[in-house]
Structure 1
Amino acid sequence: METDTLERTDTDERVDDGTDGDTPKYFHYVKKDKIAESAVMGTHVVALCGEVFPVTKSAKPGSPVCPDCKKIYATLKQA
């Protein structure tokens, strides 16, 4: 009985999306009407900072907010 060794040439490229497991690193500002649609339909939303993702979690008071979204939102409120 002879055994051959097969080499796997698969690669596993992972992208760091700023999440720690299932918990996002930051929460983003998104149009309200798109949040429910994304949560129900699984569609992607576009945050003020340009980040594109499906809504999977709701931000709780005190959750960390994306610094770029926060800056853009502040300029919108001033206008």
Structure 2
Amino acid sequence: MAEKPAGGVQSVERVFELLELITDAGGDVTLSELSSSTDLPLPTIHRLLRTLVSLGYIRQLPNRRYALGPRLIRLG
């Protein structure tokens, strides 16, 4: 993870890092791919993704990959 300015909220920074990685990967990734692209432990990534899925910002595909969710369209 790139150096961040002091004073930010770590979990928010992590969520946006994951969203950007999924976008850069072409729209869907595995948990392992996200783990290898970040310095975050698998349980942390899984917890953040689970939260994003429950909010509709990420969706879990049947093949266990994660993709951007429909709720992100409203933010665009």
Say whether the fold is shared (TM-score over 0.5): no
Structure whose residues are more often helix by fraction? 2
- So what's the TM-score if we normalise by structure 2? 0.28
Higher Cα Rg, which structure: 1
